Amino acid sequence: MSFASEFREFAVKGSVVDLAVGVIIGGAFGKIVDSLVKDMIMPVVGRIFGGLDFSNYFIMLKAPPAGYTGPMTYDALTKAGIPLFAYGNFITVAINFLILAFIIFMMVKQINRLKRETPPPAPAAPPEEVVLLREIRDSVKR
């Protein structure tokens, strides 16, 4: 079997296609959760803790260059090339991960619950020939 045909056989297996679909949907779902955390949850958490933006929690590891007149925000300082210890972004990403993990846990829990509740399908009725043969067998036994 050549390398190309072996690869083609591998690539068209159902599990590989399912994995690809899962990765694509997971990426899109990750963007939704990122937006949820960044645009909806973190502003509320920031408001509770004094209206602060967690993305601007950082420690400058190097002083700004002489003559820097830009704002002292995370975005502006990183664009200026100043190394930052950005623990605020880490807090945001950690909350993002916890929310994503919780949502996935709830989804898997519901899927498993639905799998358990589905009754097994009723066995198919035996063919007519089998029924007749059983009747003959039972009448011969008597």
What range does the domain containing 8 cover?
3-141
- What is the structure's pLDDT at 1? 66
Structural domain total, the chain:
1
pTM for this one?
0.54
φ, ψ at 50 (rounded to 5°): 100, 20
With CA atoms as reference, report the closest residue to 77 among 92, 91, 64, 90. Answer: 64
With CA atoms as reference, report the closest residue to 51 among 60, 42, 59. Answer: 42
List the CATH number of the domain containing 28. Answer: 1.10.1200.120
Provide the β-strand partners of residue 84: 60
pLDDT tens by residue, 89-116: 888 778 878 887 888 888 888 888 887 7
Average pLDDT of the residues in 54-79? 86
